[in-house]
Amino acid sequence: MKFDLLGLKFMIGIPINRDLPWQTARSLLDMTIELMKRGIQFEVQFCIGSSIVEVARSKIADMFMKSDCNKLFMIDSDQSWTPDDAIRLMALSTKLSVVCGSYPAKKDPITFMLKPLDEEVEMNYYGCIELGGIGLGFTIVDWHVIKDLSNNAPKLLFPESTDKVAHIFRCDYVGEDFRGEDMAFFDDIQALGYKVWLDPSLNIGHIGGKEYKGSIMSALTRVE
C-alpha cells in the first residue's frame, strides 16, 4: 500500500485557552522534527486565549482557508501522540477526505465518546471504520470539506477579529439533546456527502488529572 504525501501541505491547527501540557508540547516537538526529516510540508497555527472552543476552531478553519495548505490537521491542546501516529493519519488522509484518531474521555473507567453508524462495524481497505462522529481532537480534513462547510456557514464578526469568519463549528441541540461542536461538525459534513473514518490502530492520550489512554477496539466490540 503506497501513500504519496508529495505536493501536500498540512496546517496543524491547535486551539489553546491557557496552558499547553508538557505531554502535548513534547508530542508536537517530536512530530515537527520528524516531519522536517521526511520533507513533509506543514505549518503550525495556534488560536490562543479563546475560552469558547467552537470559536477557536472556526478561527483556525479561517486561517486554513486563507493559507496555501490543503489539509487541516486539527489537534486539541490536551492530546498526546507519537510522530508515527501523526504520519499514519497524514498518509490515510491522502485516501480519505476526513480521518480521525481516537482518545478516551477524561474519566475512569476508560470510556470513548463516539457515535456509531446503525449498520454493523466493518473496516475498509485501509483498516479504517466509518463512524457517525467522534471527538475532533485528532482529525485531518481535506480543503474541499472546509470549503463546502464555509459556503453554508454564517459569517460572523468574532471578538478580536477584523473580518467576518465562517462559523463552521457550533454547539446546538437536536430535540432535547445537547450537541457539541464536534458531533455537529460531523453531522454537517455527512449531510454534504462526506464520510467520517476512524483509524482504530491509533492510541491517542487525553491529558487531564492524568494521561488517559486506551484502545478504541474494546469500545467498538461492545457496539450492537
Residue-range domains of the chain with CATH: 9-220 (3.90.550.40)
Q: What digits encode the pLDDT tens for the residues 166-181?
A: 999 999 999 999 999 9
Contact 89, 202 (CB under 8 A): yes
Residue 51 confidence class, pLDDT cut points 50, 70, 90: confident
Contact 195, 129 (CB under 8 A): no
Q: What is the pTM of this model?
A: 0.94
Contact 199, 95 (CB under 8 A): no
- Mode of pairing for the β-strands spanning 79-80 and 205-207: antiparallel
For residues 5-30, b (16+ Cβ closer than 10 Å) or e, as one string?
Answer: beeeebbbbbbbeeebbebbeebbee
Residue 182 confidence class, pLDDT cut points 50, 70, 90: very high
Contact 184, 171 (CB under 8 A): yes
- Lowest-confidence region among 8-17, 93-102, 160-169, 194-203: 160-169
